[in-house]
Amino acid sequence: MAGSNGKANGKKKIGVLALQGDFREHVQILKKLGVEPVEVRKPEDLEGLAGIIVPGGESTTIGRMMASSGLLDAIRSFFYQGGAVWGTCAGMILAASATTGPPQPLLGLMNALVERNGFGRQVFSFERDLDVQGFEKPFTGVFIRAPFFEDVGPGVEVLSEIDGRVVAARGENILVTAFHPELTDDLRFHEYFLKEVCGI
């Protein structure tokens, strides 16, 4: 699946999980960056992609929809075959290996314990300028019912924290952010995912 380098007619292809949540914003940004976005709704949509973005939304709902559609196992296979994954907000929850909340379907791609709604309910949404490893200037994080990693294991590189709470991290072919870069005009996280994680 991931072996084709995600290129069709010379154009890079990145998937966006399009079952629920704010996938359209990611699609628009990918277009701006000259990438061909593919809305992923079934396992065969992963064919030929260099990477996939799992967007914000309701993590339990997305997890159940992925399980019923076969995408939970398909995305795991895609990842373990070398495909890149980026989880934002709900996608960060789904990427984790364990959660402090009630049981729910998880992809389990990153060795981390996630605290769902770690910063409170939607009424406590906020923006924060973040120091991000590798970024010369702060990045404005938009946090909406945001999670955080309470603990991370070996192989996880922390990219940004708030008061000791991990809000951005990466592994060899995975990136997670507790916030929503797609809701800003700052394209640096999308560029980072394409270059540093997807390698395209």
Residue 89: active-site member: yes
Write down the catalytic residue from 25, 26, 115, 180. 180
Runs of H (alpha helix) within the chain: 23-32, 59-69, 71-80, 90-95, 188-192
For residues 174 and 79, the answer to whether their CB atoms sit within 8 Å is yes
Q: What is the dihedral of CA 5, 20, 191, 107, to 10 degrees?
A: -60
Write down the catalytic residue from 25, 89, 115, 198. 89
Tokens of 105: 């379907």
Which 3 state secondary structure label does DSSP give 88? strand
Beta bridge partners of 199: none
Which 3 state secondary structure label does DSSP give 1? coil
Residue 182: active-site member: yes
Distance, CA of 8 to CA of 29 (rounded, Å)? 19
For residues 178 and 69, the answer to whether their CB atoms sit within 8 Å is no
130: left (phi over 0), alpha (psi -120 to 50) or beta: beta
Write down the catalytic residue from 25, 26, 115, 182. 182
Query: 24: how many CB neighbours lie within 10 A of its CB?
Result: 14
Give the residue numbers marked as catalytic.
89, 180, 182
